[in-house]
Copies of this chain bind each other. A is one copy, B any other.
């Protein structure tokens, strides 16, 4: 890892388990109000609107908006499917903040603390700053700062997001390593000159539904954040 000074982290799916967390948060909020959904299917359906929601910004059809805003648009699109049309605005807003209450994968926090001993660490996520701050507080992530979409004014995998992150730390792209559980994110990072590390999250979308390993060339392939720390700290 000669010359690497900073590690940039994808967050949803890589650092935190969005699926079971969103399912739990939706249940906690809606079950007392008499709703009985397939909570994991609800989480999956919400997340399925993610790429289409961001593509409206990446393509220029809509101006940049923070992910909190995109999450709400995504939610509004699935409200009819889950018969949630009678929820009041306050409840919908609170439900939208489920994404601020995600739990880390079991190895993330300890792994990040170890990685921080040698590298600057920062999220380079499509999540907005307030959301990242809440996840950090909840899970004891000690980021050096929060980078990513809101700094860049665009969404991954647009080049600007990776390059703006490197520039913010006054580093060359080759001094930065993108860490993600998603090969498409790593491919985009590599094409912009960053180093890459894949971390396997084989159950991100449910048991056996995640990337057990990279499908593109990477500098490091790790089974967890602890494993990544074993390899590069």
Contact = CB atoms under 8 A, between A and B. Distances in A.
Nearest to A122: B133
Contact of A145 (B68, B133, B169): B133
Contacts of A144: 133, 136-137
Interface of A: 66, 68, 120, 128-130, 132-133, 136-137, 142-146, 150-151, 168-171
Given A150-B168, A168-B150, A120 B133 contact: yes
A140 B9 CA distance: 22
A13 to B, nearest CB: 21
Contact of A169 (B133, B143, B170): B133
A132 to B, nearest CB: 7
Contacts of A171: 130
Given A68-B170, A170-B68, A132 B150 contact: no
A145 B168 contact: no
Nearest to A146: B145
Contacts of A128: 168, 170
Contacts of A132: 145
Question: Of residues A66, A143, A145, A168, which shows the largest number of chain B Cβ atoms within 10 Å of its Cβ?
Answer: A145
A233 to B, nearest CB: 16
A144 B142 CA distance: 8
